[in-house]
Each structure stands twice: as C-alpha cells, then as structure tokens.
C-alpha cells in the first residue's frame, strides 16, 4: 500500500510541478547575477569643472610636445669591445670515467700535448649608452666612457634603423666624445644647441636616453644646481638635475622647456646602482667647444698659466681681509705665463677675462677655455688691493704636456710626456707628479715621485741633465730616433729607463 500511494499519478504530478518551480527559481536567480548590457552608467556624465588659467591649459601638453621633437635626435649606442682569450681544450672524456685513452700510448701523448696548448677564442663584451645627433650627415655627441674602449660601434635611431659608426675623438678629462655614422646618410634629425650659460636652478628640464636599454625614455625634472664638481682632476662644471637618469642614459640629451639641448647626461649619484634623485650633465657650452676641437683638429687644447692653486676657507679670507671669493695661488712656476705676467704666490685670482673665479674648479675651467697666444686680463687681489694684469696663456694638452708660445704668438707643439706629468720640485729636482695607467711611462715602470736626472735622445748624443719642465720638453722635441733614455732616481738609487717615442 505504501508503494502504491507513493507513486500514485496524483503524487507523481505533484513532484513534477514542484521540480518545475524550483528549476525556474534557480534560473531566475542565475539571471539576476548579470545586469543587462548597457543598463549601468559608468563614470560621471560631465567632466569636473576646474578653473584653469589659459597659461596652465597650454602647459598641459608642453612635455609631450618637447618629447615629440627631441626623441628623434637621441640615438642608442652599442659599443662592443673585442678581446682574444686563450682556453685549453676539453680533457679526454674517457678519463672522467676512469677508462683511460682508448688508443695507443703514443697517440695518447700527442692528444695530451694538443690539449695542453691554449686555443685562441674571441670574446665580445657590449654595453649600451646614448648619443645626440648634431649634424645631418651623422656626427653624434656622447660621453667618452660610452665609446672610448670600443672596437665596434652600432648606432640605432629612434625608428630602429641601424648604422655602423667610428670614433672621431674623445677627451677623457671632460668625458666628451664624438662618433660618426660611416655610411652615407643625410637629412638626419638634428638637435638644436641651446645656451647652457642661461640656465638657472629651478628651470624645467627633460632627460632623453636609453636607460637599461629601454629606448627613447623621457623623464622630467628641474635644474637642481649648477657648477657641480664631483672631485678628481677632470674638467667638470656639471648641471645637477633631479630628472631621472639611470645606467644607459649616459651621452643622452638634457633639454630645456623649449626643446633646446643644454647638456649631455653623464653620471648619477647613487648608493643602489639606480636613480636616487641626483644626476649630472655636461653643459653644452663646454661639450660643444670640445666637440668642435675633436672634429676639426683631432685633439683638445687647453689653456695653461703655470700655477698651483688652493681653496680659500672663511678663516683664510678673514686673515687676508677678503670680502670677495677667489682662488689662492700657492705657487707660480718659473718661465710660465703667470710668472711672465707678474703674478705671485699669495695672490688671489677673482676673475679672468671678465669671468668670475670663486673656487678652484671655476678657475680651472676658465683657464682651460683660454686660447694660447691671446692676451687676457686677469684680476687679482694682492695686499688687500685689486690689480689687473695681462697674461698670455700657453697650451696644456690632454695628457698634461705643455706647449710654449714663440715670439710671434704661434703655438709650438711639444712631443710626448709619455703619459706622465712632471713638476719642478725643491732643490732643482724634476719630479714625476702623475703617471697614467697603461701608458708608455707606466708600462716602463716609472712611478710618481721618481726624479728625472738626465735625458738621452740619440745614440750618438750624451745624456743632458734636466731640472726644468721646459728643458725636458725641449730635449724630447729634438729627439729624432725611435726612443729616448731617461736617467732616474728613486729612493737614492739611480737607474735608466727606455721610452719609445710615439709618432
């Protein structure tokens, strides 16, 4: 009876009816989870009303407008250094399993000798930096440290076109270099060279380059400071900026709000290896001067006065009764331009050619820009009184060599100093003040502090004693052979060194 009642037609229809109701409920519930397409309005109907001045309205697109013009003139520079390394061949694979060599003893010895001989292998190391196109036929301005050791250089434009390039010249003391596309190109986009002397702290600037190989990257910021010097013997007058600069930006463009090139991005201050808010760029006024010398003459000539200088702290200024910043002259070298002009040790230089010299870095940069043989007014303070004198600078080369000026005012170029700088020390000694790594002098074992006693410039000529830089330069300039011999003294011991002349 129970089963008949359970499955009666009446009960069966009831079950079906309840099932249909439940199914319908679930269907409705599922449909309610997703509103009908277009039934929801997203976002406000009207934009926010903000009272924007006409000046600010035009400022909205200024950075995009500048970037659009500047990006095409900035290139990616891939510099590749090629070395030859020697590696031994792989050992006998059978020895690894303890089976020995599977051939005869004689063959085994021959194979062993071949394995012991190192085999040459080419090693290629590449780095990526940036550069700025400065002429329609492919001259590119960049940093010395980006390209100076490269055996191959590849230029990639913003539109991914690639060209080989060669080094025109580089100057490590300012970190400026020039490369040129070797293919016949024309009508390349060119940067407009602005006036970095007009920059002020707070001016808007934009940095364009290829940080971490991310091409055509644009960052913005302001000029944080001017005339920065990070130390060392380099000629520096950096623009400091907080526009983000990272590895790969070196050699790229720093432009002002008008899109004018005002600097070449060079280095960053960082403790992490990346951006920390402080970047440095070479002012275009300095970079342009060096660029033109490298292109037109192949070398950089800097002014030379023949003085050693020191900084003035407040105590020294008070002791000297100074109310104006300047640079103290520690020493005036004999027979050099400053000595001939009447400048004395203890004088304070406050300007040269109308340009203020408030610190040693500024004076160094001003003197470097002077033209040899030309007359300049130098303003000093001596015994509390201002004086003006006329000085005719000589030439100081990139490696410290000095060239003199003849009676007609023409530059008389001296021979090498072999990558070393000499100074006239006490007791009439000619001392080695600086030795550059991997140059002729350092390779010959010459050290800082060595005393040059005499020079022999030919096999049929005797040793000539020297105690002045001028005398040393004169002897070297008259050398006609392939090498010269120096007689040196170190810690009381005398010895000889032969140096090959570079023609």
Bigger pLDDT: 449 vs 283: 283
> CA dist 205 to 131, 219, 240, 269, Å?
17, 9, 11, 18
User: What is the four-CA torsion angle of 56, 58, 61, 63, rounded to 10 degrees?
Assistant: -70
* Nearest-angstrom CA–CA distance, 489 and 473: 19
pLDDT band at 106 (very low <50, low <70, confident <90, very high): low
Position 399 scores a pLDDT of 39
Q: In the annotation, is 250 catalytic? A: yes
Q: Which CATH class is domain 414-500?
A: mainly beta
The domain made up of 302-396 has a fold known as Pdz3 Domain (2.30.42)
Q: Average pLDDT in the 395-419 region? A: 49
Among 112-121, 209-218, 400-409, the range scoring the smallest mean pLDDT is: 400-409
Position 416 scores a pLDDT of 46
CATH of 63-91+117-299, picked from 3.40.50.880, 1.20.140.10, 2.40.10.120, 2.102.10.10, is 2.40.10.120
149-199 per-position pLDDT tens digit: 888 999 999 999 999 999 999 998 899 999 999 999 989 999 999 999 999
* Nearest-angstrom CA–CA distance, 401 and 419: 9
Residue 121 pLDDT more than 90? no
Question: Does residue 295 sit in helix, strand or coil?
Answer: helix
pLDDT band at 98 (very low <50, low <70, confident <90, very high): very low
Among 79-88, 89-98, 209-218, 465-474, the range scoring the smallest mean pLDDT is: 89-98
Among 51-55, 184-188, 276-280, 487-491, the range scoring the smallest mean pLDDT is: 51-55
In order, the DSSP letters of 368-436 are: HTSPTT--EEEEEEETTEEEEEEE--EEE-TTS-EEEE-TTS-EE-----TTEEEEE-GGG-EEEEEE-
Q: Average pLDDT in the 328-342 region? A: 89
Residue 10 pLDDT more than 90? no
Q: Token pair of 70, please?
A: 């500047």
* Nearest-angstrom CA–CA distance, 3 and 6: 5
Q: Token pair of 50, please?
A: 């903000």
The catalytically annotated residue of 174, 224, 250, 351 is 250
Q: Token pair of 84, please?
A: 């030859």
The catalytically annotated residue of 175, 242, 347, 450 is 175
pTM attached to this predicted model:
0.65
Residue 490, beta-bridge partner list: 493
The catalytically annotated residue of 145, 171, 216, 450 is 145
108-120 per-position pLDDT tens digit: 555 555 555 666 7
Position 410 scores a pLDDT of 42
pLDDT band at 145 (very low <50, low <70, confident <90, very high): very high
Other beta carbons within 10 angstroms of residue 251's beta carbon come to: 31
**Contact partners, residue 263, CB within 8 Å, separation at least 6:** 196, 205, 239, 241, 253, 254, 281, 282, 283, 284, 287
Tokens 């707070």 correspond to what residue?
202
Rg of the chain, C-alpha, whole Å: 36
Position 113 scores a pLDDT of 55
pLDDT band at 97 (very low <50, low <70, confident <90, very high): very low
The answer to whether 251 touches 77, Cβ cutoff 8 Å, is: yes
* Nearest-angstrom CA–CA distance, 451 and 433: 10
Among 1-15, 111-125, 226-240, the range scoring the smallest mean pLDDT is: 1-15
Tokens 């160094």 correspond to what residue?
364
Position 224 scores a pLDDT of 96
The answer to whether 311 touches 302, Cβ cutoff 8 Å, is: no
Q: Average pLDDT in the 357-380 region? A: 91
Residue 242 pLDDT more than 50? yes
pLDDT band at 9 (very low <50, low <70, confident <90, very high): low
Q: Where in the chain is the domain with CATH 2.40.10.120?
A: 63-91+117-299
Q: In the annotation, is 175 catalytic? A: yes
Could you give the percent of the chain with pLDDT greater than 70? 81
Q: Where in the chain is the domain with CATH 2.30.42.10?
A: 302-396, 414-500
Per-state percent for the chain, helix, strand, coil, to nearest 5: 25, 35, 40
Residue 333 pLDDT more than 60? yes
Position 105 scores a pLDDT of 56
14-46 per-position pLDDT tens digit: 655 555 555 555 444 555 688 999 889 999 989
* Nearest-angstrom CA–CA distance, 299 and 403: 14
Q: Average pLDDT in the 66-90 region? A: 85
Kindly report the backbone phi and psi dihedral angles of residue 162, in degrees, each rounded to the nearest multiple of 5, phi listed first. Answer: -120, 140
* Nearest-angstrom CA–CA distance, 251 and 280: 11
* Nearest-angstrom CA–CA distance, 391 and 342: 9
Q: Average pLDDT in the 325-346 region? A: 89
Among 185-199, 280-294, 330-344, 448-462, the range scoring the smallest mean pLDDT is: 448-462
Position 405 scores a pLDDT of 40
Q: Average pLDDT in the 290-309 region? A: 90
Q: Average pLDDT in the 295-307 region? A: 89
């Amino acid at each position: 009876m129970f089963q008949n009642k359970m499955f009666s037609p009446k009960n069966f229809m009831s079950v079906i009816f309840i099932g249909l109701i439940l199914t319908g409920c679930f269907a409705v519930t599922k449909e309610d989870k997703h509103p009908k397409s277009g039934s929801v309005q997203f976002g406000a109907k009207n934009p926010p009303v903000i009272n924007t001045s006409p000046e600010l309205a035009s400022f909205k697109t200024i950075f995009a407008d500048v970037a659009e013009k500047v990006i095409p003139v900035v290139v990616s520079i891939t510099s590749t250094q090629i070395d030859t390394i020697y590696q031994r061949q792989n050992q006998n694979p059978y020895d690894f399993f303890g089976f020995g060599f599977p051939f005869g003893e004689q063959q085994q010895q021959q194979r062993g000798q071949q394995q012991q001989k190192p085999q040459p292998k080419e090693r290629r190391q590449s780095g990526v930096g940036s550069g700025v196109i400065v002429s329609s036929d492919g001259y590119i301005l960049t940093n010395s440290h980006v390209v100076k050791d490269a055996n191959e250089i590849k230029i990639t434009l913003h539109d991914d076109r690639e060209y080989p390039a060669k080094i025109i010249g580089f100057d490590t003391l300012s970190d400026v270099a020039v490369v040129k596309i070797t293919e016949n190109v024309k009508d390349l986009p060119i940067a407009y060279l602005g006036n970095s002397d007009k920059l002020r702290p707070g001016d808007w600037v934009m940095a364009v380059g290829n940080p971490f190989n991310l091409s055509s990257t644009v960052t913005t910021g302001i000029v944080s400071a001017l005339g920065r010097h990070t130390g060392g013997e380099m000629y520096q007058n950096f623009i400091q900026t907080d526009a983000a600069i990272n590895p790969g930006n070196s050699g790229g463009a720093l432009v002002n709000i008008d899109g004018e090139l005002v600097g070449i991005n060079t280095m960053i201050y960082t403790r992490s290896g990346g951006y920390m808010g402080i970047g440095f760029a070479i002012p275009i006024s300095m970079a342009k001067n060096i660029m033109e010398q490298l292109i037109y003459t192949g070398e950089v000539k800097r002014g030379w006065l023949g003085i050693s200088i020191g900084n003035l702290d407040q105590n020294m200024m008070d002791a000297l009764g100074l109310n104006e910043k300047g640079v103290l002259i520690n020493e005036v070298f004999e027979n050099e331009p400053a000595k001939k002009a009447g400048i004395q040790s203890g004088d304070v230089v406050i300007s040269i050619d109308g340009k203020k010299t408030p610190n040693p870095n500024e004076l160094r940069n001003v003197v470097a820009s002077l033209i040899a043989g030309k007359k300049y007014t130098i303003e000093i303070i001596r015994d509390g009184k201002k004086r003006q004198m006329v000085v005719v600078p000589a030439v100081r080369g990139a490696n410290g060599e000095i060239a003199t000026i003849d009676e007609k005012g023409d530059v008389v170029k001296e021979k090498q100093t072999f990558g070393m700088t000499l100074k006239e020390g006490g007791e009439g000694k000619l001392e080695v003040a600086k030795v550059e790594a991997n140059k002729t002098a350092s390779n010959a074992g010459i050290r800082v502090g060595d005393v040059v006693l005499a020079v022999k410039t030919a096999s049929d000529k005797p040793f000539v004693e020297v105690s002045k830089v001028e005398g040393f330069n004169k002897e070297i300039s008259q050398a006609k052979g392939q090498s010269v011999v120096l007689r040196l003294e170190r810690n009381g011991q005398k010895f000889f060194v032969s140096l090959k002349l570079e023609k």
